[in-house]
Amino acid sequence: MKFLSVTLASLGLASAASLASTKKVSYDDWKVYRVNVGSKAAEIETLMSSLKLELWKGKPASSDVVDIMVPPAVIKDFEASTADIQTHIMHENLGLSIADENASFGTYAAGAAPSATWFNSYHTIAEHMQWITDLAAAYPNNAEVVSAGKSVEGRDIKGIHIYGSGGKGSKRGVVWHGTVHAREWITTMVVEYAAFQLLTSTDATTAGFKNTYDFYIFPIVNPDGFAYTQASDRMWRKNRQTTPTATCVGRDINRNWPSHWDQPGGASTSACAEDYKGPSAGDGVETKALKAQLDSIAAGKGVQLYMDIHSYSQLWMYPYGYSCSAVLPNSAKFASLTSGAISAVKAVHGTVFTGGPICNAIYQVSGDSVDYAYEVAKANYSMTVELRDTGNYGFVLPAAQILPSGEEMWAGLRYLLVNM
């Protein structure tokens, strides 16, 4: 999700801190508010700037509602300034919500045959890496562990390649990315659930997908950022790459792809901003690796479908992000597939998604992977989703919602695989 570009260093937030900062960020007594913008966009912008607040969701200038994280020191000022604006509290104490999330962590025995119990809880990054290895090992005739390359800190960008008749690399590729933004933990689990279904389902249609496509599934494409959310700052978003001209750390991997990279309004030029595009197009370490891996699939049998999985807002979107006026040549087909996928999602647990082009459905995004996959890698279909929810829990989604999130998103993905 996108953020207002404000300086956060005065609040001691790790999201605007230098790489040298190692103190774990506490969110004890922080609150998260949902604010109805109405006619108060300018007023909210001014308030956020004066109190140096951080957005979770939306932009005051273009959104009906915005979700704002407020530290304890300025809660009284914030509430006094929004007395005439409709608000409600999403998290009464963000620190307690994070503590509850940590308490729900499961345990995983290395070498165990992966089962559906994995999706009952969140897990450490080490367990995620082991689970991917064990899933591939359990199905040696149809899966292998792959790496898109190394992260800034030397971690593997680890994934699983799933294939069927004809052997590895014999079919057009389907590529799914999760955890681009580090704090979006539910995306990791949902992408893993999709891989699990492809390999374990006894449904004939699902089992047959791997005979139609080669799947390249990467649950955590930002491993350094994800590790940092577990060790230091639960709300960290970007990668962990330094910038030569600033002390602030990180690029937004989804603003750094070399596709319409330098579009005004599509990303921030400030190194301290959550949506910082980076000093140059495609200079992010992870971006380079992911781009090369996607390009290699495109140069082989080609890319049938690219999906970038995010949270939160319950949206199903397609190009373009860089422009709200540009229209896809085959936009009617994209719209039809999106509508069908949304219906399939709703049929599982009643969860309602809305759809449309990225720029129109959420906001302008430049240098994003979805536009790159469609325009440069020539994917037949390129889409992105924002998973649960729409403003109850936001990024700190309870573990009880992992499995239903996976089930409903798999229904949407399955619809695409059948109908695209």
Which residues are catalytic, by number?
Answer: 386
Q: Name 304's bridge partners.
A: none
The SS3 call for residue 196 is: helix
The answer to whether 56 and 2 are in contact (CB under 8 A) is no
CA angle 347, 352, 358 (to 5 degrees): 120
Can you say whether residue 154 is alpha, beta or left, with left for phi > 0 and alpha for psi between -120 and 50 degrees?
A: left
Q: Among 145, 50, 27, which Cα is nearest to 97's?
A: 27
Distance CA 158, CA 175 (A): 13
Which residue reads 């709703």 in tokens?
346
Q: Which residues of 345-377 are buried (b: 16+ CB within 10 A; e: fewer)?
A: beebeebebebbbbbebbbbbbbbbbbbbbeeb
Tokens representing residue 142 in the block: 């149809």
Residue 52: Cβ within 10 Å count: 16
Nearest to 417 by CA among 203, 189, 258, 97: 203
Q: What is the residue whose two structure tokens read 């607040």?
A: 53
Q: How far apart are CA 177 and CA 175, in angstroms?
A: 7
Q: How many CB atoms are closer than 10 A to CB 183? A: 25
Instruction: Find, among 216, 14, 40, the residue nearest to 132 by Cα.
Output: 216
Distance CA(235)–CA(242), nearest Å, equals: 18
Residue at token pair 């605007």: 16
Take residue 82 and report the two structure tokens written for it: 């929004």
Point out which residues pair with 88 in neighbouring strands: 34
Number of residues assigned to the chain: 420
